[in-house]
Copies of this chain bind each other. A is one copy, B any other.
Amino acid sequence: MLAAEILAPGPENEICLMEKPRPVCGAHEVLIRVEAFGVNRADILQRQGKYPPPPGSVSTPGLECAGRIAAVGENVCNFSENDAVFALVAAGACAEYCLADARLVRPIPRGWSFIEAAALAEALVTAHATVFELGALKSGETLLMHGAGSGITSLAIQMARLIGAQIITTANHPEKCEKALQYGAHRAINHTTEDFLSLCGESSVDVAVDFIGGDYVDKHLRLLKSCGRLIQIACMQNHQCTFNLARLVQKRLCLQGFVLRSQAADEKAMLFTRAINRWWPALQEGAIKPVIDAVFPFDELASAHQRLQDSRHFGKIIVCPPLRSS
């Protein structure tokens, strides 16, 4: 099968397609013939040598895919060959075939395409875990979530809208701000020309979800109301952060870190189940749906990476491996 591999992770990194043996199912796994997979920032970081796959994972990048079951492990009883499914994996989705822990696989929602289903797992589980579990966002509360164009935020906006929260988001372009409002944000701030802290004001937000870090941390702690929650899912700007701890104490704030990929299998399976169960009705009814930015053929994977890296996207970037006879 064809699979993506990273040549020389680090500054000289390059992603290319290589012929590799088709993987063989473990007892609790399924093998998926991949029809579509989502591109995530983790893939780019892995390419750059900054985010190696967790121990025990294959070197092929890729965190999520949709396709048809090609083989079933001996202890798996809830899937059969040819079932249309989507999956969350720790690595290996950028390939024609991908192994998945059967607990992290679900049937594709009624009427969804493989492309839509491939865009779901990473965004849904991350948004659920950060905004709704750790952030405990409630109806009537205010959420600030950056990166309106990211797969996670463009879905989280719809989820937060559905429960009756107020949503503030940011983006790097007026067109993205416009789209964010269409998807349900109440306010969209162009962070290249405006300062979100000045615009929103101190103590105005209940939950903030951030992947920037650096001096954003102090801004967020100012922005949060009493008992507010800041969920940090990455620190793209700067790992080092400095702030006034007295503010955190006096306002009883919570600064909570989150990462999905490296979680232990059992823990990830429980989180995946909670996320899917909570949002399944909304997914089936079409009340929330991943936003698709662009679809690339497999041999243009590098272009898909470049589009994400340049932050030109609004929604998920999806890649479709070539269809072959199985």
Residues of A at the B interface (CB closer than 8 Å) are 213-214, 217, 232-235, 238-259, 262
Contact = CB atoms under 8 A, between A and B. Distances in A.
A241 B254 CA distance: 15
A254 B256 contact: yes
A257 B252 CA distance: 4
Contacts of A244: 239-240
A232 B245 CA distance: 8
B252 A248 contact: no
Given A241-B243, A244-B240, A232 B249 contact: yes
A262 B249 CA distance: 11
Contacts of A247: 257
B262 A257 contact: no
Contacts of A255: 248, 254-256
Contact of A249 (B234, B251, B252): B234
Nearest to A237: B245
A105 B163 CA distance: 38
Main secondary structure of the interface of A (DSSP, over half): mixed
Contacts of A253: 256-257
A240 B250 CA distance: 14
A251 B240 contact: no
A209 to B, nearest CB: 12
Nearest to A267: B227
Across the A-B interface, the 10 shortest Cβ-Cβ residue pairs: A248-B257, A249-B257, A255-B255, A242-B242, A239-B246, A235-B245, A241-B245, A213-B245, A254-B256, A252-B257
Nearest to A241: B245
7 contacts: A232-B245, A247-B257, A249-B257, A250-B257, A250-B259, A254-B254, A255-B255
B240 A245 contact: yes
A205 to B, nearest CB: 16
Given A247-B257, A249-B257, 6 more contacts: A233-B249, A234-B249, A238-B245, A241-B242, A248-B257, A249-B258
A242 to B, nearest CB: 4
A253 B254 CA distance: 10
Given A235-B245, A245-B232, A259 B252 contact: yes
A256 B136 CA distance: 14
Contacts of A259: 249-250, 252
Contact of A239 (B233, B240, B245, B258): B245
A160 B256 CA distance: 24
Contacts of A234: 249
A259 B250 CA distance: 6
A276 B250 CA distance: 24
A52 to B, nearest CB: 12
Nearest to A260: B252
B245 A251 contact: no
Max chain B C-beta neighbours (<10 A), residue from A244, A245, A262 = A245
A124 B244 CA distance: 27
Nearest to A239: B246
B246 A235 contact: yes
